[in-house]
A and B are shown apart, each in its own frame.
Chain A
Amino acid sequence: MKKITTIAASVALIASMSYAKEVKIGVVLPITGPLAAFGQTSNDGLKIAYAQNHTLKNGDTVKLIVLDDRGDKVEAATAVKRLINKNHVTAILGEVASSNSMAMAPVAEKAKTPMLTHASTNPRVTKGKKFVTRACFIDPFQGAIQANYAYDHGYKTAVIVTDAKQDYSVGVSKAFKKAYEKRGGKIVGRVIINSGDKDFNAQVSTIKAKHPGIVDFTGYYPEAALMVRQARAVGVKAPFIGGDGVGFPELIKIGGKAAEGFMYSDHFDEAAATSPVAKAYVKAFHAKYHKATDSMGALAADGYGMILAAMNKCKDPTDKICVNTNLRATKGYQGVTGVININKNGDAVKSGVVRVVKNGKFAYLTTVNP
């Protein structure tokens, strides 16, 4: 009896193995380079999601091929070409920075391969494209979150700080200005920085001279940390508010005491995560990494999940057109970062949160619904 069962089991196993294919997803992330923090945290979350599930409904296994683009947009575009032509991936997940996603999008579009960016928020990433989707909200929404929060809490004048090197920052700045002025707020100044700079003396002096109620910092955390430090050192008292690009532990480590009270709009916060999916993710994350969760990881997990869901709806999960159609048609997806609905532009309509630096840690303030 035992022998027959064993033979039967082996035959079944071999049979299933011979039918089970490998479905590949190409992942492009900035694992090194100036955006390494975003790439690495995305990767961390992705690993959790992968461990939770990497088999499709029809038995196929999912394989991830992760390429590091060093945060450089040319590398990103080359990586996509490699993944599509050499590795024959069915879908592309990435990138983080809007500048890099915008370099990747035309390549994916031309090769008719679905691309899902989990974290790029500039509207131009999906504009006019049929094969690009995103798992996150877009900058107009994010800018509005910041503007409304600022105005509602009594800050009626603002200085906007824009990072001239990043499409992300330029996009959020525009969105903030539009939403803020619509509410009646007044922009009293605009200051330009460049990512990679360390010295913001001139800029903080300008801010000081304008006496704003609040400073809207639309760039990334390395500059945010140094700038808020230097601002406080020259006596700027206004609070800082920013976008999802500042929400990293280094903001607090480098910014020190000056970072206290720094608010920002973000995609995810553990405190607001009440759905079963979110809770399972948070639990697995803590168990593996022993550190607090962050938006990039959660979004990457959701991006991955969305791709899998789209694949599962296809008879042939390597059918790129089918996967793309399903991705763009995603409705009511229960993700870690909330319920995701993709609209006709390929953008996600979902809620955001506002967080703040309190007592040397990130704390949850409130949720904002679309």
Chain B
Amino acid sequence: MDISTFVQQMINGISLGSMYALIAIGYTLVYGVLRLINFAHGDIMMVGAFVAYLAQNAGIPFELAVILAIIAAMVTGILTDKIAYKPLRNAPKISLLITAIGISFFLENLFNVLFGGVPRAFSAPDYLTKIIHYDGIIVPVTVIIIPVVTLILLFIILWILNKTKYGMAIRSLAFDIPTVKLMGINADIIIMLVFAIGSALAAIGGIFYAVSYPSIDPLMGVIVGLKAFAAAVLGGIGSVAGAVIGGFILGFTEIVVVAFMPDLGGYKDAFAFIFLILVLLFKPTGIMGQDLDRSRF
């Protein structure tokens, strides 16, 4: 293949990787603090995309719709924790997992009932759908904007985690919840914050996804969510930077491998997991992870 196509595919890979990264951060934050695989996280991405779609349909301008979507996602995330996860804080893990799956199914089917399974067309403002032609390479503007925004958000999150006291609270919660409570910190509020941040990022990821692939449906979060989750584990669950790295690796591999070996195209959904399993075999804690499994049940 020629150089321009090659570069094009590289850029596409980075763009897809960013979307996985944004959603992966949410998974890793929640897992780090609660040791819970929040299966419903992918569906929160879907909620974000749908709310943005509905808001725009109601005539609200795009930027405002995005903010509304973020708020809606945050509310959904926080509510999910309050209603379904909090009562089970001390229950065996399998109960939590099943509940998470239950919430995921609930969201998917609720949106199915409300909006039907027909894919809807997502409209994005012109400045996001422009296509730049440069030297034989055709680049949709999103492919540049998405990774940049992702990196900015990543730095913001890292700053919050490392330089603010809330961030410190989150990091200590990841170590041991009862001790943190003894120190007088309201663990519940911090947990709420974790869900809020994760859900907000998922919403943004969802909107980016909807802009790149302008057809949304209630099940859009399922596969993307699973892959983002694989990315989070790949990068080391509990590590935000790891989640982003995992996301980029995954997105990149997906696009580039299929570009170079189109016959493998049908397997692309399996890459995430094949990758993941290989990494787990050799470095069970992921690329940047610490061994969290021992510290708390």
Residues of chain A at the chain B interface (Cβ within 8 Å): 32-34, 36-37, 40, 70-71, 164, 192, 194, 198-199, 201-203, 205-206, 208-209, 222, 225-226, 229, 233-235, 250, 253-254, 256
CA distance A40 to B213 in the complex (A): 24
Given the complex, which residues of A lie within 8 Å of B164, measured CB to CB? Answer: none
Are B265's CB and A192's CB within 8 A? yes
Classify the secondary structure of A's interface with B: helix
- Do A250 and B266 form a contact, CB below 8 Å, given A32-B112, A235-B138? no
- B121 partner, pick from A32, A164, A234, A254, beta carbons under 8 A: A254
Are A234's CB and B138's CB within 8 A? yes
- Give 18 A-B pairs besides A202-B259, A202-B265 with Cβ atoms closer than 8 angstroms: A32-B117, A33-B117, A36-B116, A40-B116, A71-B117, A192-B265, A199-B16, A199-B255, A202-B262, A205-B259, A206-B262, A229-B214, A234-B8, A250-B119, A253-B120, A254-B119, A254-B215, A256-B214
8 A Cβ contacts from B199-223 to A: 213-215, 217
CA distance A89 to B118 in the complex (A): 29
The 0/1 profile, CB within 8 Å of A marked 1, for residues 96-132 of chain B is: 0000000000000000100011111100000000010
- A202 partner, pick from B118, B131, B258, beta carbons under 8 A: B258
9 contacts between A and B (CB under 8 A): A36-B117, A40-B116, A164-B266, A199-B255, A202-B262, A206-B262, A233-B131, A234-B138, A253-B121
CA distance A225 to B121 in the complex (A): 10
Residues of B in contact with A, size category = 20 to 34
How far does the Cβ of B121 sit from chain A's closest Cβ, in whole Å? 4
Given the complex, which residues of A lie within 8 Å of B16, measured CB to CB? Answer: 199
Is B18 at the interface (CB under 8 A from chain A)?
A: no
Given the complex, which residues of B lie within 8 Å of A36, measured CB to CB? Answer: 116-118
The 10 closest A-B pairs by CB, nearest first: A253-B121, A198-B213, A202-B258, A254-B121, A36-B117, A36-B118, A37-B118, A33-B117, A254-B215, A32-B117
- B258 partner, pick from A37, A194, A201, beta carbons under 8 A: A201
CA distance A229 to B118 in the complex (A): 18
Are A192's CB and B266's CB within 8 A? yes
- B259 partner, pick from A194, A201, A235, beta carbons under 8 A: A201
The closest CB in chain B to the CB of A164 belongs to B266
Which of A32, A40, A256 is packed against the most chain B CB atoms within 10 Å?
A32
CA distance A254 to B211 in the complex (A): 11
Are B259's CB and A250's CB within 8 A? no
Is B140 at the interface (CB under 8 A from chain A)?
A: yes
- Do A198 and B138 form a contact, CB below 8 Å, given A36-B116, A36-B118, A206-B262? no
Given the complex, which residues of A lie within 8 Å of B117, measured CB to CB? Answer: 32-34, 36, 70-71
How far does the Cβ of A17 sit from chain B's closest Cβ, in whole Å? 38
CA distance A208 to B262 in the complex (A): 14
Given the complex, which residues of B lie within 8 Å of A202, measured CB to CB? Answer: 255, 258-259, 262, 265
Is B95 at the interface (CB under 8 A from chain A)?
A: no
Given the complex, which residues of A lie within 8 Å of B116, measured CB to CB? Answer: 32, 36, 40
Is B76 at the interface (CB under 8 A from chain A)?
A: no
How far does the Cβ of A367 sit from chain B's closest Cβ, in whole Å? 29
Given the complex, which residues of A lie within 8 Å of B9, measured CB to CB? Answer: 201, 205
CA distance A339 to B1 in the complex (A): 51
Is B5 at the interface (CB under 8 A from chain A)?
A: yes
The closest CB in chain B to the CB of A71 belongs to B117
How far does the Cβ of B79 sit from chain A's closest Cβ, in whole Å? 25
The closest CB in chain B to the CB of A254 belongs to B121
The closest CB in chain B to the CB of A222 belongs to B119
Are B8's CB and A203's CB within 8 A? no
Which of A40, A194, A202 is packed against the most chain B CB atoms within 10 Å?
A202
How far does the Cβ of A295 sit from chain B's closest Cβ, in whole Å? 17
